[in-house]
């Protein structure tokens, strides 16, 4: 895979007052130090993974294709092969997201204005390094690493290039981390593979702390910001959600999955016909779980980052009542 440049809008800050000033962040840093684990030795890597016990690893909304005939009608060996490849595609998105988180958090160390924020963010960099390590190692047990999907890449890029640390914090710690938390929770519940249960269980424990960091820090920071800066942050959060919900972007996301369908011998015309039929049924669409509505919107609401200025846009996207 190629190496890509990122143009950052970053301005690092020194902080020469080393006394604790945001107690909740200092406390979280203490928790982070206590809960460190070793990706190489704290997971039972010696256990074998039987792909049949892994189950379907889907995104934070669960598996939207679980009741589709073109999958149910496949012979067992093909269905297992499909499941393995789809799972690796999903896990690859997590892996790339972890790399994005590691880099974004490295930036937070430089740009946040408080020593407690810098100390805590430093602990998160090693957390994310562990996550990169475990997901890469696990994916190789099943299949291979697949490329990053466009809308995830665009979101991570926007976070890395953001010109305000508060945007990095909301984009990564609140939006991306909440989705990651939801995904790992579902994966742990949905798999019978002990190694994957350990991987996502330990990772989710870290991610919960990462979401807390975002919420604690932004709650502290928002009242100090000017109205103009708060509006800019609110617009950034909305733009991120629009990016992730863009129907064209989501259709593009399906392209690599179609490639996988073809590789395991699915008749693409049959698959397309069933997908079009089900996804054009408003009842089916309305019953699909919505991870953004479930995991992200409540956090943005909690921070007051959805106001009358943006509420209608969220309603239009079906993310708010
Ligand atoms: Fe992570
Ligand atoms: Fe994280």
Q: Which domains occur in the chain, in start order?
A: 23-316 (1.10.620.20)
Helix intervals (H) in 10-114 = 23-34, 51-54, 69-72, 76-111
Q: Which two tokens stand for residue 265?
A: 């011998």
If you ran DSSP here, which 8-state letter would residue 148 be given?
P
> What percentage of the chain reaches a pLDDT higher than 70?
98
Considering only residues 215 and 63, tell me which one the structure prediction assigns the higher pLDDT: 215
Q: What DSSP letter does each residue of 200-256 carry, written as one string? A: HHHHHHHHHHHHHHHHHHHHHHGGGS-HHHHHHHHHHHHHHHHHHH-HHHHHHHHHH
Q: What number is the average pLDDT over the span 69-92?
A: 92
Residue 321 binned pLDDT confidence (cut-offs 50, 70, 90): confident
pLDDT of residue 175: 96
Whole-model pTM: value is 0.94
Q: How far apart are CA 279 and CA 277, in angstroms?
A: 6
* Distance from Cα 177 to the centre of ligand 2, integer Å: 5
Q: Is the pLDDT of residue 319 over 60?
A: yes
pLDDT of residue 255: 85
Q: Is the pLDDT of residue 1 over 60?
A: no
- Cβ 166 vs Cβ 219: under 8 Å: no
* Distance from Cα 38 to the centre of ligand 2, integer Å: 16
pLDDT of residue 185: 85
Q: How far apart are CA 82 and CA 107, in angstroms?
A: 38
Weakest-pLDDT range from 14-23, 26-35, 52-61, 251-260: 52-61
Return the residue matching tokens 């190694």: 195
Cβ atoms within 10 Å, residue 69: 11
Ligand approaching nearest to the C-alpha of 99: 1
List, as own/partner pairs, every contact residues 249-255 make where C-beta atoms lie below 8 angstroms and the sequence separation is at least 24, other chains included: 249/150, 249/151, 249/154, 250/151, 252/149, 252/150, 252/151, 253/149, 253/150, 253/151
Q: How far apart are CA 222 and CA 303, in angstroms?
A: 8
pLDDT digits (tens, 9 = 90+) for 26-71: 999 999 999 999 999 999 999 999 988 988 787 666 677 878 899 9
* Distance from Cα 44 to the centre of ligand 2, integer Å: 22
Ligand approaching nearest to the C-alpha of 177: 2
Average pLDDT, rounded, for the chain:
92
* Distance from Cα 266 to the centre of ligand 2, integer Å: 36
Residue 221 binned pLDDT confidence (cut-offs 50, 70, 90): very high
DSSP helix, strand, coil percent of the chain (3-state; round to 5): 70, 0, 30
Q: How far apart are CA 268 and CA 275, in angstroms?
A: 10
- Cβ 94 vs Cβ 135: under 8 Å: yes
pLDDT of residue 59: 66
Residue 195 binned pLDDT confidence (cut-offs 50, 70, 90): very high
Residue 267 binned pLDDT confidence (cut-offs 50, 70, 90): very high
Q: What number is the average pLDDT over the span 272-286?
A: 87
Q: How far apart are CA 44 and CA 174, in angstroms?
A: 31
Torsion, CA 35, CA 92, CA 236, CA 130, rounded to 10: 20
pLDDT of residue 2: 67
Helix intervals (H) in 112-176 = 115-142, 150-161, 165-168
């Amino acid at each position: 895979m190629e190496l890509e440049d990122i143009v950052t809008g970053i301005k690092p800050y020194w902080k020469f007052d080393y006394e604790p000033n945001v107690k909740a962040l200092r406390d979280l840093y203490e928790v982070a130090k206590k809960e460190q684990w070793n990706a190489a030795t704290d997971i039972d890597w010696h256990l074998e993974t039987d792909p049949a016990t892994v189950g379907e690893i889907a995104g934070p909304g669960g598996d939207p294709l679980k009741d589709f005939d073109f999958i149910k009608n496949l012979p067992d060996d093909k269905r297992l092969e499909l499941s393995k490849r789809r799972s690796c595609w999903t896990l690859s998105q997590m892996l790339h997201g972890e790399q994005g988180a590691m880099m974004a958090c490295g930036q937070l160390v430089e740009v946040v204005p408080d020593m407690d924020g810098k100390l805590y963010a430093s602990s998160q960099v090693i957390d994310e390094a562990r996550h990169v390590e475990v997901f890469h190692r696990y994916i190789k047990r099943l299949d291979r690493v697949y490329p990053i999907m466009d809308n995830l890449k665009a979101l991570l890029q926007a976070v890395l290039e953001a010109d305000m640390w508060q945007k990095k914090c909301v984009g990564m710690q609140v939006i991306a981390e909440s989705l990651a938390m939801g995904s790992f929770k579902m994966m742990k519940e949905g798999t019978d593979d002990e190694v994957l249960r350990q991987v996502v269980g330990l990772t989710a424990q870290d991610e919960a702390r990462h979401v807390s960091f975002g919420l604690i820090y932004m709650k502290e920071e928002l009242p100090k910001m000017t109205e103009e800066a708060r509006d800019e942050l609110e617009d950034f959060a909305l733009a991120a959600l629009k990016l992730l919900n863009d129907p064209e972007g989501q259709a593009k996301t399906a392209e690599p999955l179609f490639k996988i369908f073809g590789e395991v011998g699915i008749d693409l015309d049959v698959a397309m016909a069933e997908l079009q039929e089900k996804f054009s049924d408003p009842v089916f669409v309305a019953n699909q779980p919505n991870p953004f509505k479930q995991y992200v919107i409540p956090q943005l609401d909690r921070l007051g980052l959805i106001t009358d200025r943006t509420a209608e846009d969220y309603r239009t996207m079906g993310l708010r009542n």
